Amino acid sequence: MMRVTGKRLTIFLLALGATLLLPLLAQAQTPSIPKLTMELAAGQAEPGDISTLLEILFALTVLSMAPAIMLTMTSFTRIIIVFHFLRQAMGTQQMPPNQILAGLAIFMTVVIMAPVGTAINNTALQPYLNEEIQFQEALDRAQVPIREFMFKHTREKDLSIFYSITKEDRPKNKEEVNTLMLVAAFAISELKTGFTIGFLIYIPFLILDMVVASILLAMGMMMLPPVMISLPFKILLFILIDGWNLLIGSLVNTFQ
């Protein structure tokens, strides 16, 4: 009984102390957090200041959408899909890891899109930084190289389906094609191309699986998983044909 009473007394004292300290802590001054605000004083705002503020907001918006831009307007989609099909066809589970495949796809995208980036830098970015052109003109010039790249790898059928969905008038030439429509059609075309290449990659590994399964069945080893036996042969085959060099070289050539 004394132990129980002492324990209860301790809990009561702790609760009483917390009750007395809470009002003191509430009255204590907390350090103020600095605030970052963007505002223009009334009557002192100039058109140039407003334009600069809008450009900053636009740049921040573009940075937040950078991953989506990479996924939908560059060669990244096709490359990462092909890598995924290759790993599934070989049956190596999580090898190579997703981080390595994504990193390799990003660097390959940088190499493939380098001519487009150079064109944007020479025709839009540098003239704008040198104050030779306005922001809107720089934006229009920057769209030209990336639109040419997407037009080159977009099927007309994929572009037509989006105009059918939105009920908009069909464009008479490439200049009248809406950029948003072009980006959506380009993404679908890249998905189809990536799946087509993945199917072609699957065929030799599928044949190897069938051969190994037939041999095991003929030997009466029906309880032995064919994938376990065929995996070393798949890896050996991929090494003998220098698979990574062949695959990456072929992928890059599809964008030429």
Q: Is 132 within a domain?
A: yes
CA–CA separation, 119 and 227 (whole Å): 48
CA-atom Rg of the chain in angstroms: 31
Q: Is 89 within a domain?
A: yes
Angle between helices 98-112 and 76-90 (to 10 degrees): 140
What are the pLDDT digits (tens) for 145-172? 888 888 888 888 888 888 888 777 777 7
What are the pLDDT digits (tens) for 45-85? 454 455 666 667 766 776 777 677 767 788 888 888 888 88
Count of domains in the chain? 1
Would the pLDDT of 4 be above 50?
Answer: no
Range of the domain at 174: 69-202
Average pLDDT, the chain: 74
Q: Is 223 within a domain?
A: no
Question: Token pair for residue 111?
Answer: 């190499």
Q: Is 128 within a domain?
A: yes
Q: Is 44 within a domain?
A: no
Q: What is the pLDDT of residue 50?
A: 54
Q: Is 110 within a domain?
A: yes
Q: Is 38 within a domain?
A: no
Give the helix ranges, DSSP H, for 74-172. 76-90, 98-112, 114-120, 126-129, 135-152, 156-166
Q: Is 217 within a domain?
A: no
Name which of 171, 105, 179 is nearest 145 in CA terms: 179
pTM check: above 0.95: no
CB 77 within 8 A of CB 48: no
Side chain identity at residue 26, one-letter code: A
- The least confident of 46-50, 178-182, 188-192, 228-232 is 46-50
